[in-house]
């Protein structure tokens, strides 16, 4: 379900920019990578779950112990079926900067990496320059061409689909009580997705946006 805010000029401009790059063919020289974060609350069972047996479902006690929080960066190149989930202790600027270093390393031959992000305050050049210094931080940031979704328009980021897949296919309704287990589970899920080359089929185009949201563009270049 989409919640579209006021459709002003800035919203339309950003939406059109993001959708234009989604419509481009797959390119090794200019990959399109979408990134989002998934907060994870770590829980531990107080009482051991009762296993399933003939005629009875497995049962889990409602009581649990909270064991802190973690974060999972969810990065995906949708058309290529490349997935880059990474559990971290938090979603701080430093963790984000370190994560982008790993993304850069995966595309050494790319002319530029088109990066789709929402408007979280850590999603800025400053995160890299504070982490690695002005010279290296700027060099790393300049490897990207960044496209921000509109304010209240994070539904345009395909990484939100990746977050949903992580929640349903990997985390599920289980209780995970430590970051080591979270790391193990996420890595296993990542290996399967990348082995299968699981892509995201995005069908919402600029033409659909103009028809459904009732606006028109006379001239747009990207």
Full domain range(s) for residue 85: 27-42+63-200
For residue 222, pLDDT over 60 is answered with: no
Number of domains composing the chain: 1
d(CA 2, CA 159): 15
Whether 102 is in a domain gets the answer yes
CATH code for the domain in which residue 88 is found: 3.30.420.10
pTM for this model (two decimals): 0.89
pLDDT tens-digit series, residues 70-108: 999 999 999 999 999 999 999 999 999 999 999 999 999
Token pair recorded at residue 66: 């909270």
149 in a structural domain: yes
pLDDT for res 208: 95
Does residue 48 sit within a domain?
A: no
Given a cut of 70, is residue 137 above it in pLDDT? yes
CA nearest to 80, candidates 208, 207, 212, 200: 200
In a domain, 31, yes or no: yes
Q: Tell me whether residue 3 is in a domain.
A: no
Give start and end residues of each alpha helix (H) in 5-124.
9-23, 93-106
- pLDDT tens digit sequence for 9-62: 999 999 999 999 999 999 999 999 999 999 999 987 777 777 888 988 877 766
In a domain? residue 123: yes
Instruction: Assess if residue 165 is contained within a domain.
Output: yes
Q: Does the structure show a pLDDT above 80 at 2?
A: no
Q: Is 197 left (phi over 0), alpha (psi -120 to 50) or beta?
A: left
Position 9 in a domain:
no
pLDDT for 4 = 72
Indicate the SS3 state at residue 142: coil
Residue 51 DSSP class: P
pLDDT at position 65: 83
pLDDT digits (tens, 9 = 90+) for 156-198: 999 999 999 999 999 998 889 999 999 999 999 999 999 999 9
Question: For residue 5, what pLDDT is reported?
Answer: 67
């Amino acid at each position: 379900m989409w919640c579209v805010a006021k459709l002003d000029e800035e919203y339309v401009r950003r939406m059109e920019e993001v959708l234009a790059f989604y419509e481009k063919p797959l390119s090794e020289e200019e990959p399109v990578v979408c990134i989002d974060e998934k907060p994870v609350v770590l829980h531990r069972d107080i009482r051991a779950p009762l296993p399933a047996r003939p005629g009875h479902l497995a049962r889990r006690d409602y009581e649990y112990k909270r064991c802190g929080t973690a974060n999972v960066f969810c990065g995906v190149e949708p058309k290529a079926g490349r997935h880059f989930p990474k559990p971290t202790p938090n979603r701080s600027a430093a963790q984000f900067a370190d994560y982008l270093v790993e993304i850069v390393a995966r595309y050494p031959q790319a002319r530029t990496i088109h990066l789709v992000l929402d408007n979280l305050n850590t999603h800025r050049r400053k995160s890299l320059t504070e982490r690695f210094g002005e010279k290296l931080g700027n060099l790393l940031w300049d490897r990207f061409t960044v496209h921000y979704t509109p304010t209240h328009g994070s539904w345009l980021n395909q990484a939100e689909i990746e977050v949903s897949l992580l929640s349903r296919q990997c985390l599920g309704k289980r209780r995970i009580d430590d970051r080591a287990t979270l790391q193990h589970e996420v890595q296993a899920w990542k290996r399967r997705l990348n082995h299968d080359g699981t892509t995201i089929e995005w069908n919402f185009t600029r033409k659909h946006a103009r028809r459904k949201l009732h606006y028109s563009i006379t001239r747009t270049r990207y």
